[in-house]
Structure 1
């Protein structure tokens, strides 16, 4: 996902209401999220569906890595040799 361009991607909610189709097209084409504001404060982020799905996949992967690091730190890790043996055994079944 690309970074927000402050001069293009932060818009008032009232402006968004008046031109929804244009804003959705911009988000789809640029793949950048748009920050919607109300009374000068950020209230929502609008983003392309594919970019949102990619972000969710990345977050899930990071959560799995974090979980694995905790398990290793708590002595629940498995050596490479043991993991390989377990996988090969399961594949043989």
Structure 2
């Protein structure tokens, strides 16, 4: 969660204090919003939080596609999926 009093920094501050800002982001796991001319322009975040965010977005996309498939009637019955998996496993073992 962004703390606007602590995590909102002008680009000039970030340029002058980049090491401290990167250390803060890494230690606190809190993103820093970088502003330019008073407008939010970028977000600096630690790599672990970034990876979690990317994975969450990917999962959200998969869920959306699954929901759309269900709405469109493009579902595969459980037994057919099981048969396909078993067939694939038999082929791999050969």
Q: TM-score, normalised by structure 2?
A: 0.87
Alignment of 1:15 onto 2:13: yes
Cα distance in 2 between the residues matched to 1:54 and 1:69: 22
Which structure is richer in relative contact order (CA contacts within 8 A, separation 6 or more)?
1
Q: Give the root-mean-square deviation of aligned CA atoms.
A: 1.2
Give the number of the structure whose alpha-carbon radius of gyration is greater. Answer: 2
Could you list the structure 1 runs, at least 4 aligned residues long, displaced by more than 6 angstroms after superposition.
none
Q: Deviations over 1:5-64 (max 9, x none)?
A: 112111111111110000000000111111011222101111112211221111111111
Q: Which runs of 5+ in 1 are unaligned?
A: none
Distance across 1 between alignment mates of 2:21 and 2:52:
21
Q: Does 1:86 align with 2:84?
A: yes
Structure 2 portions without partners, runs of 5+: none
Structure 2 counterpart of 1:47? 45
TM-score (norm 1): 0.88
